[in-house]
Amino acid sequence: MWLTRPLQERSTQLFLGILFMALLVVSVLHVALPEGHALHVSAYTVTLLGKYLCYALLAVAVDLVWGYLGILSLGHGAFFALGGYAMGMYLMRQIGDRGTYGDPVLPDFMVFLNWQELPWYWYGFDMAWFAFAMVLLVPGALALVFGWLAFRSRVTGVYLSIITQALTFALMLAFFRNEMGFGGNNGLTDFRDILGFNLRTDEVRLGLFIATGIALALGYLVCRAIVTSKLGRVSVACRDAEARTRFLGYRVERVQLFVFVVSAMLAGVAGALYVPQVGIINPSEFSPLFSIEIVVWVALGGRATLYGAVIGAILVNYAKTVFTGVMPDAWLFALGALFVLVTVFLPQGIAGLLKKRRKPIDVGSGPSQPATAAEATP
């Protein structure tokens, strides 16, 4: 099976081994040890680690299109947010008459704004299967339409990056409007249940953490299966010499469109897992700055490696957590300094440093990595 092919790679085995070991250790330390124990992992830490894993899956999605296809997307935050809103709509419908205003159908914010009936696009989100399908289909459909128009017109390079940034900015402005029916500036929050389980219990938080880790593993396998296939080799050819690839007879726009849609759907899954763990989704997730930050994660970790994107996402967000507590007014400067230092001294990111410290463990483990992380600036 094409999805199991990457399991033969030693690098994939190592990545999955570390990931599942981390899931096991965190679960055991959370469940088996009492709260007063020095090694006990609190429910807050479990939720925080789950958020990091969501960001890691999002970074893998960006690395797929940027590292292997050469498309610097500055709009993947939009796909992440759309997946999050799809999950948030499902969670809001599960509240029912337990809301502040006691309406069995309308969410509290709609009652407050004097909405008389549920908008048509909220129909179906009371069913889990429909909501989970929308988590994939909504970001995928947007990527399909946007990508078909852009790639068919042969928009590339910095122009494509600017258009993707404009897309997420336009969506952010739209979702800020109360008339859209998505909670406006406050977004969707006050979630209670998911699949009949109380979201506020430690057991459910741990379950979401484990589910996120499994989703990251599956997303990584999907991406590795793509990049090690013939499609992946054609993608790298499109990245390195698009005109020559067209001359050889390949339909470049189809390759770009397929990989772009898959990446958007993975970002949507990351957003859907993010929302029940943090307890809120609002238009700030559409912010262009967030999409740029995702690119920084991938650049710091190392492009065209996939595992480097995971490393970058986790390290940068952990540093963000530390810096916002120690130096809340200057953490952005610390993050910028970190990016500059890595760009200057580790042009291939942290993954490049790891490659230098050991011999390659895979023969033909994937396409070659781009020369520098400094290409993060469109």
Which of these, 353, 338, 236, lies nearest to 296 by C-alpha position?
A: 338
Pairing of strands 197-198, 280-281: unpaired
Q: What is the pLDDT of residues 222-255, one digit of tens each?
A: 999 999 999 999 999 999 999 999 999 999 999 9
What pLDDT score does 358 carry? 63
- The tokens of 105 are what? 């159908």
What pLDDT score does 217 carry? 97
What pLDDT score does 345 carry? 81
Which of these, 269, 350, 256, 338, lies nearest to 308 by C-alpha position?
A: 350
- Please provide the DSSP assignment of 245-294 as one string: HHHTT--HHHHHHHHHHHHHHHHHHHHHHHHHHHTEE-GGGG-HHHHHHH
* Residue corresponding to tokens 């916002």: 324
What pLDDT score does 349 carry? 86
What pLDDT score does 20 carry? 97
Residue 116 CB coordination number (10 Å): 7
What pLDDT score does 99 carry? 86
- The tokens of 262 are what? 């898959």
- From CA 124, how far away is CA 253, in angstroms rounded? 34
What pLDDT score does 362 carry? 46
Residues with Cβ within 8 Å of residue 306, at least 6 apart in sequence:
60, 63, 64, 67, 220, 223, 224, 227
What pLDDT score does 168 carry? 96
Residues with Cβ within 8 Å of residue 312, at least 6 apart in sequence:
59, 296, 297, 298, 299, 300, 301, 302, 349, 350
- From CA 335, how far away is CA 330, in angstroms rounded? 9
Q: What is the pLDDT of residues 134-157, one digit of tens each?
A: 999 999 999 999 999 999 999 888
Q: Which residues of the chain have pLDDT under 70?
A: 1, 357-378
Q: What is the pLDDT of residues 313-325, one digit of tens each?
A: 999 999 888 888 8
- From CA 185, how far away is CA 283, in angstroms rounded? 7
CB 152 within 8 A of CB 253: yes
CA-only gyration radius of the chain, Å? 21
